[in-house]
Amino acid sequence: MWNLRDISIRTKLTILIVSISSVSLLLASIAFITSDRINTQQTVSDNLGTMADIIAANSSAALLFSDPVAAQETLSFLNSQQHIQAAAIYDSDEKEFAHYIQPGLNLDLPASDLQNENILFWSDYVELYTRIFYEGDLIGFIYLRSDMEAIHDRLVMFLGIVAIVLLASLLVTFVLGAQLQRIITDPLLRLSAIARQVSTGKNYSVRVIGEGKDELGNLITDFNTMLDEIQSRDNELREHRLRLEERVTQRTRELESANALLELSKEQAESVANRMEYHAHHDALTGLPNRILLNDRITSELAHARRQQTNAALLFLDLDRFKIINDSLGHAVGDQLLRVISRRLNNCVREEDTVARLGGDEFMVLLPRISGSADAGRIAKKIIECLVDPISCNGHELHITTSIGISIFPYDGTDAETLIKHADISMYRAKELGRNKAIYYTAEMNAGSRKQLAMETNLRKAVERNQLRLFYQPKVDINRNMIVGVEALLRWKHPTMGFISPLDFIPVAEDSGLIIPIGEWVLNTAFRQLKQWHNTGFTGLTVAVNLSSAQLSRPGFEDVVAQALGEAGLDARMTELEVTENVAMENIDSAITVLDRLKCMGISIAMDDFGTGYSSLNYLRRLPIDIVKIDKSFVSEIPDSTDDVTIAQAIIAMAQSLKLSLVVEGVENVRQLNFFRQQGVNIVQGYLFSKPVPASELLRMLEAQNVPGTVNLVK
């Protein structure tokens, strides 16, 4: 349906202007025509009046003298008046006196009611009633009737003119309106066109032209201001977006390069991992499988042998007198020799066999799926034979032999560890029996001291391979809050068994005599270490070294100590030697002599683990003791155990009365510390402050004087 709202504002304005103009013109025309009609009626009325006056004047005499013919003559001039339709003269009694009716018309003349002067306009004629006076006396009446032709013609003419003028005006109004409405619509259209351009093209730089001061001008100004604002926001937004895009591009580039790097490092990591994997499982010198890979293979071969119920054998090889070659001709020759031997070993076994190097001059051969023990013996013999030919290294003709221990699955063990251990034991037996031999493991070899033997074997290797270490546990002066000394404690880190307690291996070392070289090594190492700390500035520090009875009873022990002191360049007064009561008591007389000599040199003697051995006050008095160390077994229950409190108090009282220094070991908590502090003990050792630690860590503690469990230890 046609809707006014849907038509354009231009058309609306044009319609508005034309409508208003039309209404105005119409009203004006109506007023004009009305006024003209009134004027015309007045003119008609005047004319009829004048005509009546003439008739009255000319007919007065006729009326006075009752001459109707004269009156009739007077009316005869009306023949020339086209518009007069009828006329009549009446005497004072309203009796018709003379009359005139236009020829051709059939009209009735009024016969009464002539008294009132009047003019009556009818639709197509006009009637005039008037009176005739002579010298003030009413002598008659006149009636005139005229047609409306003239008025109608004039009206038609005026209507025609008005119609033409109206049409012309409307045309002009339309043309002018169409032009004038542009004053309003043009800015609006410009505004809307720009708004559309902005909304569709997102072009905020365009502006609406027109700066009038009217509402439209204000609207345009406001619109342009709004566009300024939007444009500046848009610019900001665009800049922001550009910056964002730049950053995204940059980040993408960075990510790409990071990705590339990652890819590269992944490849590198993979190749490193592969290399590491290889190195983790192979011996660097010979390229043979190492202990780890060998263990894996043994485990899987044993599983296979178990399922298939077959035999497998392990050959433990140790080259005879290799150390001599290595020491005399140098490591380069030794390494070359090991490489040649590795090749020879590999050549004389089957493909499915594994030749592994365990380290040093030790090799192991895994023989899976053998039909019986004799096979292992045959291969061992073959190995011995393949080493018969001399090996030339760096111009040297070297003759090398090997001792082989053989263990057979499942007779000599059902797991890798046992088989290796038994092969190792039998290899030592082969050495004992004159070397260059292969010996089967027998149960007798194990009898009695199997663990001892293995431990001894291992310890011997540990000494050769420098697997022993010294750790140091600080002794703290709790009054001064500082480390005043350290106790050197042996540590053995076995490559597969981990840390072995000195409580386990010291007895073995003592039984096997290994304690002599080990003890010397401890003295030398501890003294040299102390000297290093002195050189670093910790000149007040002392070191305590534990002694075993074998060392103490060995002739010339004092010389060993003196030599160690001399080599380290150490003042003897900065050293302590710790002996347990049992050590001292084993040969009390010689112990007293040796300890006396040591004391004379300036060394302090400490009675270790006091209270756990043959505690005899008599002996204690005889021994040249400077320090008593309360054993940790009395400390652990303090202060809760009244027995231990009493024993500790007794030992402290005894030491004080004999004027001996006191060290409490094994202090693990603050309650124990407070107890001994109250008892007047100065020097304390225990986990509360620190466990035994490597020298490097102790140096850090000395430097920081930060002993865990204490506060404000100052250097």
Collect all residues with Cβ–Cβ distance below 8 Å to 431 and sequence separation of at least 6: 318, 320, 403
Name which of residues 621 to 640 contact ligand C2E (CB under 6 A). 632
Collect all residues with Cβ–Cβ distance below 8 Å to 591 and sequence separation of at least 6: 552, 553, 579, 583, 584, 585, 623
Applying CB under 5 A, the span of 238-246, 281-289, 422-430, 576-584 interacting with Mg ion comes to: 576-584
Among 140, 177, 187, 686, binds ligand C2E (CB under 6 A): 686
Within its chain, how far is the Cα of 73 from the centroid? 134
What SS3 string covers 385-432?
A: HHCCCCEEECCEEECCCEEEEEEEECCCCCCHHHHHHHHHHHHHHHHH
CB of 491 to ligand C2E, least distance (A): 7
Q: Nearer to ligand C2E by C-beta: 69 or 503? A: 503
Q: Nearer to Mg ion by C-beta: 47 or 546? A: 546
> Nearest-CA neighbor of 620 among 584, 583, 650, 667?
584
DSSP 8-state symbol, 574? G
DSSP 8-state symbol, 573? G
> Nearest-CA neighbor of 110 among 118, 538, 177?
118
Rounded to whole angstroms, the Cα distance separating 607 from 593 reads 16
Q: Give the helix/strand (H/E) hosting 673.
A: helix 670-678
CB of 441 to ligand C2E, least distance (A): 32
Q: Which tokens sit at 313?
A: 């054998």
Collect all residues with Cβ–Cβ distance below 8 Å to 511 and sequence separation of at least 6: 452, 456
581 binds ligand C2E (CB under 6 A): no
Q: Give the helix/strand (H/E) hosting 662.
A: strand 661-664
Name which of residues 390 to 419 contact ligand C2E (CB under 6 A). none
Taking residues 585 to 614 in sequence order and writing x for each that binds Mg ion by CB under 5 A, - otherwise, the string is -----------------------xx-----
User: Closest-CB residue for ligand C2E?
Assistant: 686
Among 49, 68, 360, 502, binds ligand C2E (CB under 6 A): 502
CB of 379 to Mg ion, least distance (A): 50
User: From ligand C2E, Mg ion, none, which one binds at residue 59 (CB under 5 to 8 Å depending on kind)?
Assistant: none
Is 606:627 a contact under the CB 8 Å cutoff?
yes
Q: Nearer to ligand C2E by C-beta: 245 or 567? A: 567
Q: Nearer to Mg ion by C-beta: 510 or 578? A: 578
Among 47, 578, 627, 702, binds Mg ion (CB under 5 A): 578
Question: Cis omega before residue 694 (within 30°)?
Answer: no
CB of 510 to ligand C2E, least distance (A): 8
283 binds Mg ion (CB under 5 A): no
In total, the chain counts a number of residues equal to 715
140 binds ligand C2E (CB under 6 A): no
Q: Nearer to ligand C2E by C-beta: 74 or 548? A: 548
Site size with Mg ion, rule: CB under 5 A = 4
547 binds ligand C2E (CB under 6 A): yes
Backbone angles phi, psi at 86, to 5 degrees: -155, 155
Q: Which tokens sit at 519?
A: 């003890």
581 binds Mg ion (CB under 5 A): no
Q: Nearer to Mg ion by C-beta: 295 or 546? A: 546
User: From Mg ion, ligand C2E, none, which one binds at residue 687 (CB under 5 to 8 Å depending on kind)?
Assistant: ligand C2E
Taking residues 167 to 206 in sequence order and writing x for each that binds ligand C2E by CB under 6 A, - otherwise, the string is ----------------------------------------
Site size with ligand C2E, rule: CB under 6 A = 23
Q: Nearer to ligand C2E by C-beta: 337 or 568? A: 568
Q: Nearer to ligand C2E by C-beta: 198 or 489? A: 489
Q: Which tokens sit at 656?
A: 């004080």
User: From Mg ion, ligand C2E, none, which one binds at residue 456 (CB under 5 to 8 Å depending on kind)?
Assistant: none
Q: Nearer to ligand C2E by C-beta: 481 or 636? A: 636
Applying CB under 6 A, the span of 15-23, 132-140, 178-186, 665-673 interacting with ligand C2E comes to: 665-673
Q: Which tokens sit at 454?
A: 């293995």
317: number of Cβ within 10 Å: 28
474 binds ligand C2E (CB under 6 A): no
User: From ligand C2E, Mg ion, none, which one binds at residue 501 (CB under 5 to 8 Å depending on kind)?
Assistant: ligand C2E
- Provide the sign of the torsion angle of the four alpha carbons 450, 452, 458, 460, taken in this order: negative
Applying CB under 6 A, the span of 200-208, 330-338, 422-430, 502-510 interacting with ligand C2E comes to: 502-510
Q: Enumerate the H helices of 433-514 as residue ranges.
A: 443-446, 450-464, 502-512
Among 501, 535, 536, 674, binds ligand C2E (CB under 6 A): 501
Distances (CA, A) of 374 to 297, 349, 410, 431, 509: 22, 15, 14, 21, 37
User: From ligand C2E, Mg ion, none, which one binds at residue 581 (CB under 5 to 8 Å depending on kind)?
Assistant: none
475 binds ligand C2E (CB under 6 A): no
Rounded to whole angstroms, the Cα distance separating 18 from 10 reads 12
521 binds ligand C2E (CB under 6 A): no
Question: Exposure pattern of 231-259 as b/e (b: 16+ CB <10 Å)?
Answer: beeeeeeeeeeeeeeeeeeeeeeeeeeee
Among 370, 439, 490, 625, binds ligand C2E (CB under 6 A): 490
For residue 464, which amino acid is it? Answer: E
Name which of residues 542 to 571 contact Mg ion (CB under 5 A). 546
Binding site for Mg ion (CB under 5 A): 546, 578, 608-609
Binding site for ligand C2E (CB under 6 A): 473, 489-490, 501-503, 506, 522, 546-548, 578, 608-609, 632, 665-668, 685-687, 692
